Structure 1
Amino acid sequence: MPHIELPNLPGIRGPMAFRPETSKPLNELVEVLLRHPNSLTQGERELIATYVSSQNNCHYCQSIHGAIAAAHLDDDEELVKSVKQDFHAASVSPKLKALLNIAGKVQQDGKNVTAEDVQAARNEGATDIEIHDTVLIAAAFCMYNRYVDGLATFQPQDPALYRERGKMVARNGYVAANLTNVVAPEPAELVSR
């Protein structure tokens, strides 16, 4: 049960509907990081978000972003699982593995990222933009994960719900998918303590 009264929406959607003025910049940031044109595919960027969320043990974020990643990767849920379990053994490019290494270090403490980690990513072909965005995705998802879990949001367990929502977000984006959530909730929609 949420720590405060939130609209009866799963995960981050409840707090975003509760405080729409903060949801707008949060959605815009994730839209730029995960969907705007980039040399990393949308699927790769979603895998970074999923990996960080799994390391933070945020059920909602790792489930929804894993579903979005899978939707971008020909519904390859096994690949998403393997990245969460051991990205070193996953069937992803050496460049993405180097970037996931950086993301994992940011998740623990940004100061853990070394010049050697960055050089290893560059050696695999990572650009400065890709390194920058990996660090920002990891940092942002630490914030999103703590936002979701810090308010004890409702986090459904049914993978089918995440699959369905993941396909919609992959198709329409974050801003469009959450436009219906930025209106003030009616009292009947609130989840009480």
Structure 2
Amino acid sequence: MSDQAISRYPIPEIKDLPEDLQELILGVQEKAGFIPNVFLTLAHRPDELRAFFNYHDAIMLRESNLTKAEKEMIVVTTSSDNNCLYCVVSHGAILRIYSKNPLIADQLTTNHHKADITDRQKAMLDFALKVSNDAQSIGESDFDLLKSHAFTEEDIWDIAAITAFFGLSNRMANLTSMRPNDEFFTMGRG
């Protein structure tokens, strides 16, 4: 285990947080066996932590035509493009678990066009990167291309919402120097 700081900002004591956040954090610890550093780092501002996870759950847990693994593919690919170590490592672990593929996250962080994914998923990730880097140029041809891969208007919204939300997450993780938990590095690798 690393003795490095998990954030450049102070980490509050869990017992000093509002009761709902204590329950949230301790529930995650019970389920995962550890507390992901994102919870501890964002607890520096409890109202923002609450809002962050409410929106996270609204987009990542909602019923969708995108699989859980595809949602994580979006997070990993765009987080890599944004140079966000925390999100690449933590969501890479989640992706490996959901996809039951120990190689996929590493492939996506390097070059999603060379990854062992479908053409449909490559189109999804191309669009996610466009949302992340060049949203002002999105046009009807982007929608047409995605629809040719059987994405609906709602699916396209999901791709964009996940990309935009994790753009915020990536920037905050980089600002705070959020350190990935050591546990994430080995999860889902075999």
- Measured against the shorter chain, the TM-score band is 0.7 to 0.9
Count of matched residue pairs: 162
Which residue identity lines up with residue 38 of structure 1 in the other structure? Answer: S
Partner of 2:129: 104
Query: Following TM superposition, where does structure 1 have runs of at least 4 consecutive aligned residues deviating by more than 6 angstroms?
Result: none
Which residue identity lines up with residue 116 of structure 2 in the other structure? Answer: S
After TM superposition, the structure 1 = structure 2 runs for residues 3-42 of structure 1, keeping only pairs within 5 Å, are 3-7=8-12, 11-42=37-68
Identity %: 25
SS in 2 for 1:89: coil
User: What 5-or-longer segments of structure 2 have no aligned partner?
Assistant: 14-34
RMSD: 2.2
Whether the 8 Å contact between 1:102 and 1:118 is mirrored in structure 2 is no
Partner of 1:190: none
After TM superposition, the structure 1 = structure 2 runs for residues 130-169 of structure 1, keeping only pairs within 5 Å, are 130-156=155-181, 158=182, 161-162=183-184
Take 2:108 and 2:102, find their aligned partners in 1: how far apart are those partners? 10
Which residue identity lines up with residue 126 of structure 1 in the other structure? Answer: F
Partner of 2:151: 126
Partner of 2:89: 63
Whether the 8 Å contact between 2:95 and 2:104 is mirrored in structure 1 is no
Q: Which digits, 9 at most, give the CA deviation of each residue in 1:18-50, with x for residues without a partner?
A: 222211221121112222221111011011011
1:10 positional shift:
5.7
Q: Relative CO higher for 1 or 2, CA cutoff 8 Å, sep ≥ 6?
A: 1
TM-score normalized with structure 1 length: 0.75
